[in-house]
Amino acid sequence: MASSLGKIFVVTSYGESHGKCIGVVIDGCPAGLEVNETDVQYEINRRKPAAEAGATARKEEDKIEILSGLFNGITTGAPISMLVRNKDVKSVEYEKTRFVPRPGHADYTSFIKYRGFNDYRGGGRFSGRITVGFVMAGAVAKLLLKKAGMEILTHTVQIGNIKSKNTSINKIRKNAEGNLVRCADIETSHKMAKAIQTAKEEGDSLGGIIEALALNVPVGLGEPVFDTLEGEIAKAIFAIPAVKGIEFGTGFKSVEKKGSENNDPFDIEDNRIITTSNNAGGILGGISNGMPIVVRVAIKPTPSISKTQKSIEMQRLTKANLSIKGRHDACIVPRAVPVVESMVAIVLADFALRAGIFTGVIK
């Protein structure tokens, strides 16, 4: 396993779905940053299942514990260790299907890679629950970015085949957190919620697309040729289970444009260099250009569904049918919004530290 991410702001993840806890160690955070437990808890709460909209029925208190790295509520420069205990764990059901891998899950690949020693309960290390650790780290990263005026807005732009209308930054800031599916376009949000409800009733699931916008990112973040801003964000995002695609700016659609349409013209505004469009999604040559960074992430439909599926028995190599019981989200997209936001924040924090932009910012 490789459970550490980042070069200067280094996030180390541990924990399993049905183990004692999910934890994270954040190394390299500068000294002098105020971190309130409530700031971190707020983000963890954002990740919790909502009361509706097809989210999992698993109930967890998810109360964070900060074990190290803070002194009187301020970072000391030492690694920050945080964890959340797992409480509401029912593992018995997983025993029955231990050797029958769930389609679309890591059950088969982890069984082979770890020679049967993997903790299979609830997906173990491959459960979406491990993203609790990502969100704790992201909460700290966001506090750090805030010191330099950066902000990340994240919202759901598509659920199944229901697409959000183009929305302004203000609308996203105002509306996205106010509805169950985290869509900034309120009318569409209702349709999305309904579609999720329908999928749930059918024992099926839906995927979607999440968009993150990073605002006020200074020019110069990113370390080409290999540690590009896109590349590191992508690597971090693919650590989220169920992600199958990522694009920046106009992304896959830029393919159908001509160069003369896709190039963003430069201009001067308030004595600053800007571009008058943002097809590049705020990144040129792997380096931030000062415009909003725009990332879109494709989340596949949740593989855990109650409909009967075809699988096999891995030890006997025989066919087997599988119907997944347990508690599962019919659509994880809304809950993945703060997770995507966290990964973007973690990567930006790392690049900001590599570029030395906090020198003198944090006193």
Site for a second copy in 18-47 (CB under 8 A): 19-21, 23, 25, 27-28, 31-32
Least distance CB 109 / a second copy (angstroms):
4
Site for a second copy, residues 167 to 186, rule: CB under 8 A: none
Binding span for a second copy by CB under 8 A among 37-45, 55-63, 145-153, 279-287: 279-287
Site string for a second copy, 58-77 (x = CB under 8 A): ---------xxx-x--xxxx
Choice between 153 and 294, CB closer to a second copy? 294
Choice between 173 and 324, CB closer to a second copy? 324
Q: Is 310 helix (H, G, I), strand (E, B) or coil?
A: strand
> 344 and 211 in contact (C-beta within 8 Å)?
no
Among 37, 103, 173, 194, binds a second copy (CB under 8 A): 103
Least distance CB 27 / a second copy (angstroms):
4
- In the block, tokens 């029955």 appear at 96
Collect all residues with Cβ–Cβ distance below 8 Å to 58 and sequence separation of at least 6: 49, 88, 327
Collect all residues with Cβ–Cβ distance below 8 Å to 7 and sequence separation of at least 6: 227, 350, 354
Site for a second copy, residues 207 to 266, rule: CB under 8 A: 207-209, 219-220, 222-228, 230-232, 234-239, 241, 243-252, 254-266
Q: Is 170 left (phi over 0), alpha (psi -120 to 50) or beta?
A: alpha
DSSP assignment, residue 289? -
Least distance CB 174 / a second copy (angstroms):
25
Q: Does 302 bind a second copy (CB under 8 A)?
A: yes
Least distance CB 52 / a second copy (angstroms):
19
Least distance CB 197 / a second copy (angstroms):
14
CA distance linking residue 354 with residue 253, whole number of Å: 32
Strands 208-215 and 266-269: unpaired
Among 192, 299, 337, 344, binds a second copy (CB under 8 A): 299
Among 54, 128, 138, 303, binds a second copy (CB under 8 A): 303
Report how many residues bind a second copy under the rule CB under 8 A: 145
Among 43, 60, 119, 350, binds a second copy (CB under 8 A): 119
Strands 162-163 and 74-75: unpaired
**What are the angstrom distances between the C-alpha of 344 and each of 24, 82, 100, 160, 316?**
17, 19, 35, 23, 43
Q: Does 354 bind a second copy (CB under 8 A)?
A: yes
Collect all residues with Cβ–Cβ distance below 8 Å to 88 and sequence separation of at least 6: 58, 59, 60
